[in-house]
Structure 1
């Protein structure tokens, strides 16, 4: 689970980049669920999360 102030924006950001995660805001406010497979997928996700955070500043 990951918390985000704007889960919808975060989910949309990743979807535009081919990464699909689950928006869990309907169960736990401001949270999404991320399932990761390989090490390479983890690195790609990490890089995209950092890109998203950088755009929010």
Structure 2
């Protein structure tokens, strides 16, 4: 017996990514709703570019 779906359908991944701020639109929304600060975004970007994430 195979399980074909556990409720994480491909069609819903975009909505999830937006809600987590993993897309540009999601990140903009997180910034405007103060769920993440400008400094946190810049620090994360710097760490990613430097390879220290």
TM-score, with length taken from structure 2: 0.37
Greater helix fraction, Structure 1 or Structure 2 = 2
Larger RCO, structure (CA 8 Å, separation 6 or more): 1
- Whose radius of gyration is greater, 1 or 2? 2
TM-score, with length taken from structure 1: 0.35
